[in-house]
Structure 1
């Protein structure tokens, strides 16, 4: 089964927000009350009920001119996803298409995925059960995996009237992105393909007009070392070689010391300091 990629060319986006409406409609996501931001942008960031957001950025370019930049913001669907590695319930997994999805039946709302996502695109939603007790679940963009399974494209892609988004074979989309960058370099000297390899590459690949930081994106996002050690080494070895009680103690240590914000910052800075 070939991997698929959502290709996003920010230089073609006109900020219409049709992608946001399509996502809300297809996924039956409720409307949210938000504060007026004073611009085209309706939400500060993605949330548990708004899985993609149209970002609006005013930027002074290298020539001293003012550029109005847009970016369709949603889950990147990393090939090596930190959220999948830190989930203690194996509620997050990869599909055959390369998308990263959350099994709501398994999710316990611990929030480790929220804390460790380098792009800050996962959110917790609070629910109330029939007994009045609160519980939480993690939510994010699924890249419309249910549509892909039926041979359809993601809802956001189908509604984009400027051709800023396409969906197709991974290699073809990456080649398209690279070609587009060469075409716009004269106008946008800092143009680049954003497909960070620190997370194994992503299944949402961008053509950016400026450096990632201009869009609020990390320049070189990586999976935290603590997450790699836990998922790829400690957890499987623990299951094979030590008892359940000892594994629980090890798990508690890791979650308390490594999967919190302080542990994440310590790991990224190499021992003291700080998308």
Structure 2
């Protein structure tokens, strides 16, 4: 199966926020007013109501200069997603284009995915169920899977004026990232590709001008050990134990029925002696 990825080249991003606006418009996301925190940052991070945030960071250069660092931030769609591992309802799955999807009707708002996301992306937000009830459900970037199914690009990619965000087949995006990295290193000696292996690689990866921590990114994010234990050990063991338990219950039920039937026959009335030799 062909997998796809989104490449974000921060070295050519100008911080125009067109990606934010496009995401809000296409996904019909509500206005989310946040307290002013100073500077030009509109939202601190992605939330359940704002799936795509252009993060702006003031950075002092090695020679004492000053520069702005811009970074498109959204769900990374990890190949080995912690949120998928910890979901007790099976509401989080991998989509046909490589996205990590959340079934809003299956989600119960337990917040396990929120607490275990190594990038602090997933959050709960109001969701109107099929019955018309408003519930708290985990929500985040969907990689515009509905657009991809129609042969369109994700809305943030489609609107980026400088091709700082590009989308395509994963191998092509990895190759393009290497090409852009070579160009970036001419101006940014510490430039590097951010595609952390600890989460199996991400379906949204970066060409960064400096090390990840400069951009507020974890250097080596990993799937939490608790998530691995839960998904790969505890759940299979629990299902196996449940199977054994159910077999025991079923065996007991059948045995009980058989014995009770015999007792009922003996106690239920006289035995017809004519049927016995």
Alignment gaps of 5+ in structure 2 = 247-277
Q: In the TM superposition, what whole-angstrom CA distance separates every residue of 1:106-139 from its partner, at most 9, and x where no partner exists?
A: 000000000000001100114688x998741100
CA distance in 1, matches of 2:161, 2:134: 41
User: Counterpart in 1 of 2:275?
Assistant: none
- 1:254 maps to what in 2? none
CA contact (8 A) 1:15 1:40 kept: no
String of CA shifts for 1:163-193, please: whole Å, max 9, x gaps: 1011001011111111211212132111110
Looking at structure 2, the residues matched to 126 and 169 of structure 1 have their Cα atoms a distance apart, in angstroms, of 33
Partner Cα separation in structure 2 for residue 144 and residue 127 of structure 1: 18
Q: Name the CA shift for 1:128/1:158 in 2 (closer, same or farther; >3 Å).
A: closer
Q: Quick one: distance in 2 between partners of 1:9 and 1:168?
A: 14
Q: Map 1:90-101 to 2 at 5 A.
A: 90-101=90-101
SS at match of 1:242: helix
Tell me what 1:167 maps to. 167
Please give the secondary structure, in 2, of the residue aligned with 1:57. Answer: strand
Cα drift, residue 64 of structure 1: 2.4
Alignment-derived partner of residue 221 in structure 1: 221
What per-residue deviation string (whole Å, max 9, x for no partner) do you get for residues 204-246 of structure 1? 0100111111111100000011111111122123212336989
1:85 and 1:189, CA in 2 relative to 1: closer, same or farther beyond 3 A?
A: same
The worse-fitting range, judged by mean Cα deviation, of 73-82 and 62-71 is 62-71
Q: Secondary structure at the match of 2:69?
A: strand
- Partner residue of 1:240? 240
Output aligned runs, 1:42-191, within 5 Å: 42-126=42-126, 135-191=135-191
Q: Deviations over 1:44-80 (max 9, x none)?
A: 1111110010011111122322121100000000000
Secondary structure of the equivalent of 1:36? coil
Residue 200 (str. 1) matches residue 225 (str. 2):
no
Distance 1:177 1:127, change over 3 A: closer
Give, in whole Å, the separation in 2 of the partners of 1:19 and 1:109. 28
Farther off after superposition, 72-81 or 27-36: 27-36
2:167 aligned counterpart, secondary structure: strand
Deviation string 1:26-52 (CA, Å, 9 cap, x unpaired) is 100011112223323211111111001
RMSD: 2.2
State whether residues 58 and 68 of structure 1, in contact with CA within 8 Å, keep that contact through their aligned partners in structure 2: yes
TM-score by length of 1: 0.84
Which residue matches 1:250?
A: none
What are the ranges of 5 or more consecutive residues in structure 1 without an aligned counterpart?
A: 247-275
Q: In the aligned structure 2, how far is the partner of 1:151 from the partner of 1:162?
A: 21
